[in-house]
Amino acid sequence: MQGLATDNAPSPGVVVPHFIFASISFFVVVVLMLLSASSFTGYFFEPHLLAITHAAVLGFGTMIIFGALYQLIPVIFETALYSEKLAKVTFWTFGIAVVMMVYTFWNNQFSTLLVYSASLTFIALMMFLFNIVASTRRATKKTFLSNFITFATYWLGLTALIALIIALNYKFNFLNQSHLLYLKMHAHMGMAGWFLLLVMGAAATLIPMFLVSHQMNENKLKYAFYFVNAGLFLLESDWLFLHGSVMLPVWGLMIGAGIFFFLSYVRESYKKRLRKNLDVGMKHTMIAVLFMILPVFLGIIASISGLNFDQKIYWRIIMLYGFSIIFFFITSIILGQTYKTIPFIIWLVKYKSFVGKTKTPLPKDLYSEKIADIQLYSYIASIPFLLGGILAGSEITFNIGAALLLITAILYNMNVFKIVFHKSRIETKL
């Protein structure tokens, strides 16, 4: 855990609110899922589904990544955050934008409120990008791993730009092609460009650290970086200029190759680990890594034009493709890494000055391991029901999975708030 400690780390007031907002967002997302089970068994472009998707990827995923990245920038780049004040302004701006965006989609306000919520989201993301780029430019240390973070932020900027264009088109109707084409571009820039690259870069630093693995082959990460970026660039170019050619599966395979090299790196880290027993955080992380394979397979299958699927089956493949990325990959790795980051951040605030003077609790003592274990089991139990519900088009099956995921969200929130509002416990050394 000491790898996260640095004199350049931002104040907890910058990082902690992101975790609070994200954990509440996760709970809200699952409640909305329970209210809209039918949305997950039909067509993938549906107002309630769009609201849930954006609440998950923006309110939960992106918000918590912002907070974690503010803490990781000093570790990876050995430099302080450019502006903590800007980070706080960004948090409030982005938080308001997310609420507006979810409300807009949920109430089907595409031609009225969407342009305003998208514009505010774009402004917030640009403030975040400026802060990160300004921070990394003055870095004293730049390794190859830092390229993952840098390129992920660039892809985030493009994702936000495409989203704004789509929103403006709903009001002014100026695009020649269907908005679904640009929606695919927007979604893949966000998922593969922003989330995937960011997770790869952060995980390549954190997983060996937490597993205590040494002498890793970083060439695998280089291959992962180049294959993912090249495949995504060609995929986006294909959609933009050719509107989807027969080469789409090839670009998908390139991204898949990048994921394969990353998985190989994680496997090597796991085999070389000195810490044999995995805690709940690393178990969640390993589940997320395994689930990286599913969307690659589904995406390639869906992109092969020669396969003539029944329309309902095709919709379910697409639904499961996006769902698996958000709720099996991104969600699991966030649920896990929360227990590896926020306890240590709060522990530093509460106990750093007492180290060596008195007996202090460990970071893992700031949360309930029993609650975290039950959270893990409820999450694992939800997976087959969610998968089966989508594939079979069964609302009842999906709702069972969503109910189990709601238990996961409640337990997760209990631990997050237990950590954030932890009261110091100091014992005098004898």
| Structure confidence at residue 41 (pLDDT) | 79
Torsion sign (Cα): 66, 72, 78, 84: positive
> Across-strand partners of 358?
428
User: Residue 21 is encoded by which pair of tokens?
Assistant: 């907002």
Using an 8 Å Cβ cutoff, are 61 and 337 in contact? no
> Across-strand partners of 427?
359
| Structure confidence at residue 6 (pLDDT) | 59
Write down the residue that tokens 């990827």 correspond to: 57
| Structure confidence at residue 370 (pLDDT) | 95
State the Cα angle at 345 between 198 and 93, rounded to 5°.
Answer: 60
Provide the H-helix boundaries in 365-394: 369-392
Nearest to 232 by CA among 308, 307, 156: 156
User: Residue 417 is encoded by which pair of tokens?
Assistant: 């708030």
DSSP 109: -
CA distances, 134 to each of 152, 195, 347, 414 (Å):
15, 21, 28, 36
Q: Show Cβ contacts of residue 307 under 8 Å, excluding neighbours closer than 6 positions.
A: 301
User: From CA 202, how far away is CA 424, in angstroms rounded?
Assistant: 30
Backbone φ, ψ for residue 201 (5° rounding):
-65, -45
Q: Exposed, middle or buried, 279 (CB in 10 Å: 0-12/13-18/19+)?
A: middle
Nearest to 385 by CA among 368, 371, 405, 361: 405
- CATH no. for 2-423: 1.20.210.10
pLDDT, one tens digit for every residue, the chain (430 residues):
445 555 677 888 899 999 999 999 999 999 999 999 888 877 767 889 999 999 999 999 999 999 988 988 887 777 888 999 999 999 999 999 999 999 999 998 887 889 999 999 999 999 999 999 898 888 776 778 888 988 999 999 999 999 999 999 988 888 888 878 899 999 999 999 999 999 998 888 888 988 888 888 889 999 999 999 999 999 999 999 999 898 999 999 999 999 999 999 999 999 999 888 888 989 999 999 999 999 988 888 888 765 666 777 888 888 899 999 999 999 999 999 899 889 988 888 888 777 777 788 888 899 999 999 999 999 999 999 999 999 998 999 999 999 999 999 999 999 999 999 988 776 544 4
Nearest to 65 by CA among 177, 173, 201, 209: 201
> Across-strand partners of 428?
358
Torsion sign (Cα): 43, 46, 50, 51: negative
User: From CA 21, how far away is CA 26, in angstroms rounded?
Assistant: 9
